[in-house]
Amino acid sequence: MPGSGTDKTKRWIETPAPVVILVEPQLGDNIGATARAMANFGLSRLRLIKPRDGWPNPRAWVAASGADRVLDNAALFETVEAAIADLTFVLATTARAHDQAKPVVSPQQAAELMAPKIAAGESVGVVFGRERYGLENHEVALADRIVTLPVNPAFASLNLAQAVLIVGYEWCKLQSGGALPFAMPQKSAPATREQLLAFFANLERELERVEYFRPADKRDTMLINLRNIFHRMGPSRQDIQTLQGVIMAIAEGRRGPARGGVLDGTEAEMLRTLLAEHAAAQVPNDRAPVRGLARLLRRNPTEAERMLWDALTKDRRFAGRSFKRQTPIGRHMADLVSFPLRMVVDLVPAEEGEAAAKERADRRAWLAARGYRVVSVTAADVERDATAVLHDLDARIAEIQAC
């Protein structure tokens, strides 16, 4: 699995690039960090001149964080002259002026100088000095150019790997044309003017209802400011749909499908009683009213429904069993249903009239005739101990699955 930016499933960049030469590096950790920086930016050829702690050094592989191939192929030399013998163009990095009549360039300029030479098949190298005091005068004298950075003159020394990373970055940026490896995915098309205008009309209407535009003489200016906010955003169609939903949720006072809505628990129970006694708890044939009734009941649960649903959704035993709340089954509305299990949970209120009780019995018979197992749960039991109710429900499911 890819880590934070490291993906071994992708092809390792193998293109002609400068050679990185470290003169008498002291710590294996710094060599490893240098290899990591090289791998980041497509540099693979590393040459080491007399590492202080010997070579190979296990600490280098630890610090390389997976850039093993750079270290595995590192070449060892005794002198700078030997390390650059096959190169046609050499650059020396330093933070100090060496008083030499030699052109001084930035890392970006260095990359621009190296690119055409490497493209022509020449071998080019960049020499980096020791951690403590960098390159000596006679070593700088071997180079064609000096590379330095615009740093704080009072604290100009960089860590070895940092210096390599900056040069490597400029090289890779030049080679890639500055193209980034990924961009924000475009998952939704930009919002159309028609969609924006409809959104503004809805927003304006709801703000008028709460008397937001005060004083009245500033109404037009406030509207223009609001519109400009959203125009500057450049919203997508999905953004506007989401914002429409947010505005309507606030306007209607919803608190979410499992937390209660416009009605409180007592009022929600009264709603269900009315439906049971006067509409026989049956849904109309038109699918639009069916969806509207289901949505109304889901947004306005009774206290027992809210507690049972909250406990069920947090219990891992019921994950994947596809329970739904207030869902129509044929002409009846089920409190809880799992279609894969063919199970209906019927939540019985504390008090129920004769008509509502008769309708409940008829509904159970109708569901049973169509292969549904109906499990009755009383609201009082849920409010007393929802966990115990779920334990019994899990046992019933186990019985069903064992059949």
pLDDT value at position 262? 58
Cis peptide bond upstream of 301, omega within 30: no
> Within 10 A of 175 (CB to CB), how many other CB atoms are there?
19
| Cα→Cα distances 8→4, 66, 67, 168, 198, Å | 12, 10, 11, 21, 48
Separation CA 163–CA 80 (nearest Å): 19
- Please tell me the pTM assigned to this model: 0.55
pLDDT value at position 291? 61
Query: Along the 403 residues of the chain, how does pLDDT read in single tens digits?
Result: 445 556 666 666 678 999 999 999 999 999 999 999 999 999 999 999 999 999 999 999 999 998 999 999 999 999 999 999 999 999 999 988 877 889 999 999 999 999 999 999 999 999 999 988 889 999 999 999 999 998 888 888 889 999 999 999 999 999 888 888 777 777 788 889 999 999 999 899 888 888 888 888 888 999 999 999 999 988 999 999 899 888 887 876 654 444 445 566 666 666 666 666 555 445 555 545 556 666 777 777 888 888 898 888 888 888 888 888 888 887 788 889 998 888 999 888 887 778 778 888 888 898 899 889 999 999 899 999 999 999 999 988 888 777 6
106, two tokens: 């930035």
Count Cβ neighbours within 10 Å for each residue of 92-111 and write b for 16 or more, e otherwise.
bbbbeebeeeeeebebbebb
As a dihedral over the C-alpha atoms of residue 85, residue 89, residue 93, residue 97, rounded to 10 degrees, the angle is 100
3-state secondary structure 13-56: CCCCCCEEEEECCCCHHHHHHHHHHHHHCCCCCEEEECCCCCCC
> What is the helix (H) or strand (E) element at residue 281, kind and residue range?
none
Residue identified by tokens 């869902």 is 327
pLDDT value at position 259? 46
User: Considering only the top CATH level, what class is 19-176?
Assistant: alpha beta
> Considering only CA atoms, which of 184, 194, 196 is closest in space to residue 227?
196
**Size of the chain, expressed as the number of residues it contains:** 403
pLDDT value at position 284? 53
pLDDT value at position 70? 94
CATH assignment, 265-402: 3.40.960.10
